[in-house]
């Protein structure tokens, strides 16, 4: 599957970093998914509740949607446990799990529609792409590609991307501008200690 040139593969939140803490309907589900992610990391580090970064992890608010984070947690745990005592390439595991998780999240929703609208409005304004053609093109994307634009992220993150897409002036490299609007939120999808 071809990865869209929208998002970097690396998506980490440092110990001190957190995504938006704005209230949104799925926030309790995201808090729960984050707690599960943190518990999984602690278990995989063989420290359990004594894992030193556990409190920081639970305080972090990633930019991922609850469904995406749950899928990442399951995939990551399975892959790390399956590796046994072998050398782990956590970056490769995260990239593989990102692809897997992106296939498992639903790409529908009002805020997801807003980020698509912002993207297509920008393409119409800056690249003279017909608005209907843009939206039709996005609808035809593979599930994982569409999820990387939308349902991978929680509502505050999607709102941040939409605002960015609408606020930037046109550029000779529009792909670079669109990618830059996703960069900050894509780097905070999942939390890891420094």
**Per the domain annotation, does 192 fall within a domain?**
no
Cα-based angle 48, 54, 57 (whole degrees, multiple of 5): 135
Structure tokens at 82: 């399956």
Q: Give the pLDDT score at 5.
A: 35
Terminal CA-CA length for the chain: 31
Span 68-88, pLDDT tens digits:
999 999 999 999 998 877 778
Average pLDDT, rounded, for the chain? 85
In a domain, 130, yes or no: yes
Domain extent, residue 64, equals: 12-105
**Residue 4 domain-assigned (yes or no):** no
At residue 74, the pLDDT reads 97
Domain boundary among 58, 84, 105: 105
Domain membership flag for residue 190: no
Residue 69 maps to a domain: yes
DSSP string, the chain: -PPPTTS-S--EE-TT--------TTHHHHHHHHHHHHHHHHHHTT-GGG-TTHHHHHH---SB-HHHHHHHHHHHHHHHHHHTTSPP-HHHHHHHHHHHHHHHS----HHHHHHHHHHHHHHHHHH---HHHHHHHHHTS-HHHHHHHTTTB-HHHHHHHHHHHHHSPP-S-HHHHHHHHHHHHHTTSEE---
- Residues 30 and 69 sit within 8 Å (Cβ to Cβ): yes
Note whether 89 and 22 are same-domain residues.
yes
Considering the domain architecture, whether residues 61 and 145 belong to the same structural domain is answered as no
Shared domain check, 123 and 52: no
Instruction: Give the three-class secondary structure for 55.
Output: helix
Pairing of strands 12-13, 190-191: parallel
CB 166 within 8 A of CB 125: no
Kindly state whether residues 101 and 114 are assigned to the same domain.
no
123 and 173 share a domain?
yes
Confidence of residue 1 (pLDDT cuts 50, 70, 90): very low
Q: Is the pLDDT of residue 10 over 70?
A: no
pLDDT at 15: 35
Domain-ending residue, one of 105, 128, 147: 105
Q: What is the reported pLDDT for 14?
A: 40
Give the pTM: 0.82
In a domain, 117, yes or no: yes
If asked whether residues 75 and 122 sit together in one domain, one would say no
Total domains present in the chain: 2
Together in a domain, 57 and 101: yes
> Quick one: 134 and 169 in the same domain?
yes
**Domain end marker among 73, 89, 105:** 105
Which element (helix H / strand E) includes 35? helix 27-44
Residue 81 in domain:
yes
Give percent of the chain above pLDDT 90. 62
Same domain, 116 and 95: no
Residue 167 lies in a domain: yes
Tens-place pLDDT, residues 97-136? 999 998 888 766 665 789 999 999 999 999 999 999 999 9
Per-residue pLDDT of 148-188, as tens digits, reads: 899 999 999 999 999 999 999 999 999 999 999 999 999 99
């Amino acid at each position: 599957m071809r990865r869209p040139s929208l998002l970097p593969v690396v998506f980490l939140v440092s110990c001190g970093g957190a995504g938006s803490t704005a209230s949104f309907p799925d926030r309790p589900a995201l808090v729960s998914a984050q707690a599960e992610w943190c518990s999984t990391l602690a278990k995989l580090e063989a420290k359990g509740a004594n894992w030193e970064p556990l409190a920081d992890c639970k305080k972090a608010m990633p930019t991922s949607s609850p469904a995406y984070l749950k899928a990442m947690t399951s995939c990551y745990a399975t892959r790390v446990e399956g590796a046994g005592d072998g050398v782990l390439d956590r970056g490769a595991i995260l990239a593989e799990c990102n692809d897997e998780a992106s296939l498992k999240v639903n790409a529908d929703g009002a805020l997801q529609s807003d980020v698509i609208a912002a993207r297509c409005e920008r393409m119409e304004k800056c690249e003279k792409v017909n608005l209907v053609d843009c939206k039709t093109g996005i609808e035809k994307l593979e599930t994982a590609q569409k999820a990387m634009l939308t349902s991978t992220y929680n509502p505050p993150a999607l709102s941040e991307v939409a605002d960015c897409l609408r606020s930037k002036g046109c550029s000779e490299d529009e792909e670079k501008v669109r990618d830059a609007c996703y960069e900050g939120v894509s780097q905070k999808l999942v939390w890891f200690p420094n």
